[in-house]
A = this chain, B = another copy of it.
Amino acid sequence: MKSLQENKFWNEKLNNLSPYIPGEQPDPDDEIIKLNTNENPYPPTDSIVDLLEDIDIMRLALYPQSDWSELRQVLSQTYSIPADQIFCGNGSDEILTLIFRSFFNPGDVVLLPYPNYSLYETLAQSNDVQFEYVQSGDNFEINLNELLNRPSKAVFFSNPNAPTGKLYTLDVIKDFCSKYDGLFILDEAYIDFASENAGKELSGITLLNELDNLIVVRTFSKSFSLAGIRSGYAFSSKGLIEGLMRMKDSYNLDYISQQISIKALEDYDIMLENAERIIENRQFLSDELFHLGFDLLNSKANFLFTKHKNHSGEDLVKKLKEKKIFVRHFKQERLNEYIRITIGQREDMETLIDKLKEII
């Protein structure tokens, strides 16, 4: 046997990469209240059960549609965007990865308002792109002037922000994009929880006619309760969508996930109802946490980012875990005092409050 170093074949990017660390996934059989990865506590629509029962198994032997034309058509109708301005991916993760692979050259600089979804940093590293964080103010307000004035190729902007849940209005985003020469990636993973109308009047989708440096990224994982099927979508100008099409693997989204995504969109009203329940539960949990002495940001997402005056984030996560409740803790600067709690069903929120009362 030839003796090779294990990493002899790794390239520079890989050697320098700090992998993205997803939230812990407990065994589904354990009796855990899982509030750590922003999954939806309500089931996806029942029509998906029927779909799975009716799938023609012979269809699985064939390749899926390479351009997801059926799903794209339904997305086009649902959001009133032409099909050639729509992209579909193996989760929004794949779409974000393809944005890095398609639009940046080595050494380009992308700006990340801090704090932010940490995957952007990982993807910058794994694609040999420089990233610079732009610090936010005391209450995590994003410094838009600095974002605009620092030379850059792109800005990655989660709205509502991950992990703070803060929402920026469309006016602010429109004003920024119209002055900015680079690409603006607007990650709307959580926008459906921003208002009782699924954030319709708050979404960057309405700006697509006016801006062609805008990519709006969406997912079926959160509001549609479908993290398990890995299906994401994006809206942008024709030229940018065509670029992503050219870079992607031929058959990047499997047949069943395409079909399930279609059903989910057809039952859009059920998604709306579930999002409304989550908004109610969020209000309930906010009020209760406030009474327990927690400091709260005004989250418009399906999670709260919060800290307690007397208990460190690390301590709370550990003690809740002992009581079989998982919440998320981030070790990074300025975030480590906080915990991020996914909004669950009402009774899970009540259990959480009871356990927190025992701890505090």
Q: Which residues of A contact B (CB under 8 A)?
A: 1-2, 4-14, 17, 19-20, 22, 25, 28, 34, 37, 39-44, 46, 48-49, 52-53, 55, 57-66, 90-91, 93-94, 97, 101-106, 119, 126, 178, 183, 209-213, 221, 225-231, 237-240, 242-243, 245-247, 249-257, 260
* Chain B contacts for A6, CB-based, 8 A: 237-239, 242
Complex: A61 Cα to B43 Cα, angstroms: 6
* Chain B contacts for A240, CB-based, 8 A: 9
Inter-chain contact B22/A212, CB cutoff 8 Å: no
Residue contacts A-B, CB under 8 angstroms, 21 given: A1-B212, A4-B212, A4-B213, A6-B239, A6-B242, A7-B239, A9-B183, A14-B103, A22-B63, A25-B65, A28-B59, A44-B57, A52-B53, A62-B227, A62-B228, A63-B228, A93-B252, A126-B247, A230-B251, A230-B254, A254-B254
Q: In the complex, which of the residues B43, B49, B64, B238 contacts A228, with contact meaning CB atoms closer than 8 Å?
A: B64
Q: In the complex, which of the residues B40, B43, B90, B104 contacts A90, with contact meaning CB atoms closer than 8 Å?
A: B90
Complex: A40 Cα to B63 Cα, angstroms: 10
Complex: A93 Cα to B61 Cα, angstroms: 16
12 more CB-based (< 8 A) A-B contacts, given A59-B228, A228-B255: A6-B238, A9-B213, A22-B66, A28-B59, A28-B62, A48-B60, A60-B225, A63-B221, A90-B90, A227-B251, A230-B254, A256-B256
The copy count of this chain in the complex is 2
Inter-chain contact A10/B229, CB cutoff 8 Å: no
* Chain B contacts for A209, CB-based, 8 A: 1
Complex: A152 Cα to B189 Cα, angstroms: 43
